[in-house]
Structure 1
Amino acid sequence: MDGKFHAVIGAGTGVAVAQTTGQDAIGTAVLLAAGMVASLAPDLDTAGKLANKISLSHKMIQGFVRTAGILLGGYALLALSGAAMYIGLALGVFLLLLAPKFSQRLMLLVSGIAIIAAGIALEAIWAGLAGLYVVIASIASHRGCTHSLIGLLFFGVITFYIHEQFQITGLCWTLMLAYLSHLLADMRFIPGNKRGIKLFWPLSRKAI
């Protein structure tokens, strides 16, 4: 299912929980946003829209590295001589060749590591675990572990620590139900989902 539909379902989940728990406008907005994020979290393994929002653009990094390579090569050619010039030119070429290697998945991996570091620095268990989730998603195959019961359970642990720190009424239910809605919406019984998900991964790789 397209990410926009997952986001709409997640937002609707947040609003439904807000109405059930008697939230005001601000509380409803918080749960709506939380539902959208949680409903898109499983698709971090595709390096899609949510991945782009929490990591630097790989195209921006590629452009920066290419520019650095050109500047370094130009400086070596115009301002250096002898061995230093050849070394500078070699480094410039190396950066130009390296630039295309910076994929969105790599940036997502780096972002996950940064989130883990921030969680440790801030002594926020939920942030550290969220960073670990991002790292795992960055190297996982699409519709693999993040679309399984294990992924749901791990996200539940993150949700528990978020609830422990923020104590926002309805937040726990919103996060879990929105994440679950993504798994249900990607199952084969929904029209157009021929691929399905490996719900019982890694015990079973059969898509349902």
Structure 2
Amino acid sequence: MKGKTHVMLGVAAGITAISNYSLEKGIIFISSTVLGSLMPDIDHPKSKLNQKLLFKKNRIFKFVFYIILSLGCIYFGISLNNKLLKILSITLAFTGLSHHRGFTHSLLGLLLFSMVVKILAIRYNLIGAYKGFVIGYISHLIADSFTKGGIELFYPCSIKITFPFTIKSGGNEEELILKGLYFYLIYVLLKFIGV
């Protein structure tokens, strides 16, 4: 699916989950769902996040970039005995080595990325950010399970998981879903302001 569809799914899931949050906590939560909804595609060199991170948008540069980051994290993680950097090192190495819809689209990817975010959320007292990130990430995995390519949910096992009915990424069905999400968000916002 396209990045904007993942973002809208993440925002819709996040808004549905935050009925009792203050405005400040709600903004942090929704921002985290957006990040979580985009994170699984970090394994693709032309993803929304990698467009900001990579100088060259190809698999070789993606591999080199994430492996260098991983080596830096493991060096400092061991030197400083820092759990966050050690976990981040493993996560970045898998990201660099993985193909699209492999590691980052799996339960292992969800676990490792979520561990990194949870450590940061606890450190900075932003547990809502952790919850939002997980909701966004899971919404991405579910959405990509509806595409013809499916996902390797049990990576490193390469079995593709798809729902019985699938949609074409970027196709008419995805556009219909996107329009439905726009209407849903408008409805929720109107309800929020009391209209």
Same fold? TM cut 0.5: yes
In structure 1, distance between residues paired with 2:75 and 2:31: 24
In structure 2, distance between residues paired with 1:109 and 1:165: 26
Q: Do structure 1's residue 194 and structure 2's residue 192 form an aligned pair?
A: no
Change (3 A) 1:200 1:102: closer
In structure 2, distance between residues paired with 1:169 and 1:199: 26
Give the CA deviation at 1:177: 1.2
Change (3 A) 1:169 1:203: closer
Q: TM-score, normalised by structure 1?
A: 0.63
Number of aligned residues: 161
In structure 1, distance between residues paired with 2:105 and 2:8: 18
Q: TM-score, normalised by structure 2?
A: 0.67
Q: Do structure 1's residue 10 and structure 2's residue 10 form an aligned pair?
A: yes
In structure 2, distance between residues paired with 1:179 and 1:45: 13
**Which stretches in structure 2 are left out of the alignment for 5+ residues?**
163-195
For residue 175 of structure 1, the aligned residue among 122, 127, 133 is 133
For residue 155 of structure 1, the aligned residue among 98, 109, 113 is 113
Aligned to 2:176: none
- Deviation per residue, 1:66-124 (Å, 9 max, x gap): xxxxxxxxxxxxxxxxxxxxxxxxxxxxxxxxxx9972432343344445566678876
- Deviation per residue, 1:111-145 (Å, 9 max, x gap): 44445566678876435533432331121011112
Give the CA deviation at 1:176: 1.1
**Which stretches in structure 1 are left out of the alignment for 5+ residues?**
60-99
Counterpart secondary structure, 1:170: helix
Change (3 A) 1:104 1:146: closer
Give the CA deviation at 1:23: 2.1
Aligned to 2:97: 139
- Deviation per residue, 1:173-203 (Å, 9 max, x gap): 211111111110001xx3xx11111212234
Counterpart secondary structure, 2:134: helix
Change (3 A) 1:102 1:186: closer
Paired amino acid for 1:178: G
Which structure would you say has the larger RCO, counting Cα contacts within 8 Å and 6 or more residues apart? Answer: 2
Counterpart secondary structure, 1:207: coil
Q: Pairwise mapping of residues 78-97 of structure 1 onto structure 2 (< 5 A)?
A: none
Q: Do structure 1's residue 29 and structure 2's residue 27 form an aligned pair?
A: yes
**CA-atom RMSD in angstroms:** 3.0
Percent identical across equivalent pairs? Answer: 29
Q: Is the 8 A contact 2:44 2:59 kept in 1?
A: no
In structure 2, distance between residues paired with 1:169 and 1:129: 19
Higher helix share: 1
Give the CA deviation at 1:46: 0.7
Change (3 A) 1:130 1:21: farther
Q: Is the 8 A contact 1:42 1:179 kept in 2?
A: yes
